[in-house]
Amino acid sequence: MQSIQKKLMSLQPIQTEVIVWYKKNKRDLPWRNTTDPYKIMLSEIMLQQTQVPRVIEKYNLFLQNFPTVEDLAATSTTNVLTLWSGLGYNRRALNLHKAAKMIVEVYDKKVPRAAEQLQTLAGIGNYTASAIQAFAYNKRTAVLDINIKRIVSRVYATVNNEQLKEIAEYLVPQTKSRIWNNAMMDIGALHCRPQPSCNGCPFSKICKWNNNNSRIEIKASKQSKFIGSNRYYRGTILKILAKKESINSTLKQIIDYFPKQLQQPEQIRQAIVQLQNEEFIQFKKKNYSLNDKLNGRNS
């Protein structure tokens, strides 16, 4: 840490610059108007691999239907998947539902504060745990996604993951973690994009990318093709079984649901087997359906 302190020198000027910039330029997002840990958790799980504009509508819709974690835990998985439709990565919806149930049953209806406890919840890893801690509890921690990594790597000319984490953590002001991490998110969205717009960025004066033409940065890995992937088939199968008209379907009915060019029986069977093994779906009376356990019914 001492070497990082020497590298960064005095933090106060840049911390002040970033916070002043944020107060003038912050995005108006619904989950920033609350510190309710449940609402923060909901937004963070939705924001995993989904763009902000698509999340806003679904976030508001979920809160209209499930205003508390108890409401979410008490509903059926079918209801959750139906409301989730359009966000993609349906496994996140299943994990969200599981997490809500565990919060009610194990954590006395309160979203945990400690990272170790947060990470016992389905779908919550190190990043999401840090986000909940920062935005709900104002804990001094860096919410280190690829966008914030890009900022740090460009400003301080490093792609070393340990250094990136150490610098990012050290930059966070002692009592302003919520503001700081939101500011970093907005700088990533408005300035430090893959093709950066450095004019007006609060880091521009000290940024090695901008001033020294360093061109050192960490890059996001390219996402694999979605349509026709295993993830596509898994998500679509769950979507089929969440619909009232196809809540119980034979293998042939599931295959027929797909567009003709994507009716790949072997890939669909493989996805079904995976979902069965993970207890997301079940096979009863020659039909597939969502697992009774997920809906809180007796098998």
Say yes or no to pLDDT of 251 above 60.
yes
What CATH code is assigned to 2-27+141-212? 1.10.1670.10
Domain limits of the chain? 2-27+141-212, 36-137, 230-290
* Tokens representing residue 90 in the block: 């349906």
pLDDT of res. 291 = 81
What percentage of the chain reaches a pLDDT higher than 70? 93
* Residue 229: predicted pLDDT: 86
Domains 36-137 and 230-290 alike in fold: no
Q: Which CATH number does 36-137 carry?
A: 1.10.340.30
Catalytic member of 17, 44, 162, 245: 44
- What's the mean pLDDT in 41-62? 94
The yes-or-no answer on residue 169 being catalytic is no
Q: What percent of the chain has pLDDT over 90?
A: 66
pLDDT digits (tens, 9 = 90+) for 183-197: 999 999 999 999 999
Listed range (117-131, 200-214, 219-233) with the worst mean pLDDT:
219-233
pLDDT at 1: 47
Q: Quickly list DSSP for 116-185.
A: HHHTTSTT--HHHHHHHHHHHH--S-----HHHHHHHHHHHT---HHHHHHHHHHHS-TT-HHHHHHHHH
Note the pLDDT of residue 16: 94
Closest CA to 187 of 18, 53, 46: 18
- Banded pLDDT at 298 (limits 50, 70, 90): very low
Say what the pLDDT of residue 260 is.
87
Q: Give the CATH class of 230-290.
A: mainly alpha
What mean pLDDT, rounded, does the chain reach? 89
- What tens digit of pLDDT does each residue of 133-182 get? 999 999 999 999 989 999 999 999 998 989 999 999 999 999 999 999 99
Confidence tier at 218 by pLDDT (50, 70, 90): confident
